[in-house]
Structure 1
Amino acid sequence: MASKFESSIQRGCDFIHDFSCSPCEENGFNTEADHYCTQCTKYYCQNCVLKHDVLYQKHAVLGRKDVKKWEAAPGAVDALERCGMHPGEALKLVCADHDQLCCHVCVAVDHRQCSKIHPIPDVAKGIQRNIEFQQIPKKIAELEKQFELMKEARMKNTTSLKKTRAAISDELKTIRKKINDIIDKIERATLQDVDGIIAKLEKNIKKDIETCDKMTIELQNMIAAVQTKSKSSESKSYIAYRKSQDMISRANDHLRGISVIECYNVTFQANNLIEELLSAVKTFGAIEEQTVMTKQRKDPLFDPNHVFSVAEYKKYNVKMSDDKGECDILGICELPSGEFVIADWNNCKVKLLDKEYRVLDHCDVPEYQRDVCHIDGNEVAVCVDSGYADRRGLYFINATKGKLVYTSKLSFTHRCYAAAHHGGQLYISSGNALYVYTMSGQKVKMLYEDKFGGMTVRKCGISNDGKTIYITNSGKHKLITLDNKGNKLDLLTDPDMKHPTGVHVTPAGHVFVCCKDSNTVLQVDKDGKKKLATLARKEDGLNLPQELFFSSRTSSLIVGGWNGTLLVIKLI
Structure 2
Amino acid sequence: MATSPPTEGRFAQVLQCPICLESLRRPTVLPCGHTYCNSCLQSHISSKVINKGTPQACFPCPVCRADTTLPDTTASVDHWAELFPVNSIVSSLQDVSVETFGEKFCDLCLKWNRETSAKSFCKDCRRFMCTLCKEYHNETLSCISHDVVDLSTDYDTSIRIPSLSTLDKCHRHLNKSIKYFCMDHSSLCCSTCGFLEHRKCERIIPINDMLKTFDSKAKSKYLETNIRNIEQHMKEIISKIKENSDDIQNDKSDILMQIRNLRAEINAKLRKLEDDLIASLEGNHKSEDLTLHNQEARAQSLISAIGSDLTQLDLVMTHGSEVQKVIMLHNMEKNQDRYFKAISEYKEELKYIKIGLEVNKSLPDLINVLNQFGQIRVTRSQTKLPPCPVVTVSQPTAETISGLSGTPLKDRKAVKVSEFSVKLSDDTSSCYISNVLTLQRAQYVFVDYNNEKIKVYGENFQLQESMKLQGKPWNACILPDKNMAVTLPYKKTILVFGMENKMHSVREIKTRLQCWGIAVMKGQLVITTGHDEHSILILDTNGSEIRTVRPNNYRSNELLSPYYVKLNRDETIIYISYYGGNKLAAYNTSWNVLLTYTDQDMNGPHGIDTDREGNIVLCGYSSFNVQHISRDGKLIKTLITKKEEKKVPVAIQFYRDMDRFCVTYCDCDVVKVYDMCD
Give TM-score, length-normalised by structure 2: 0.40
Give TM-score, length-normalised by structure 1: 0.47
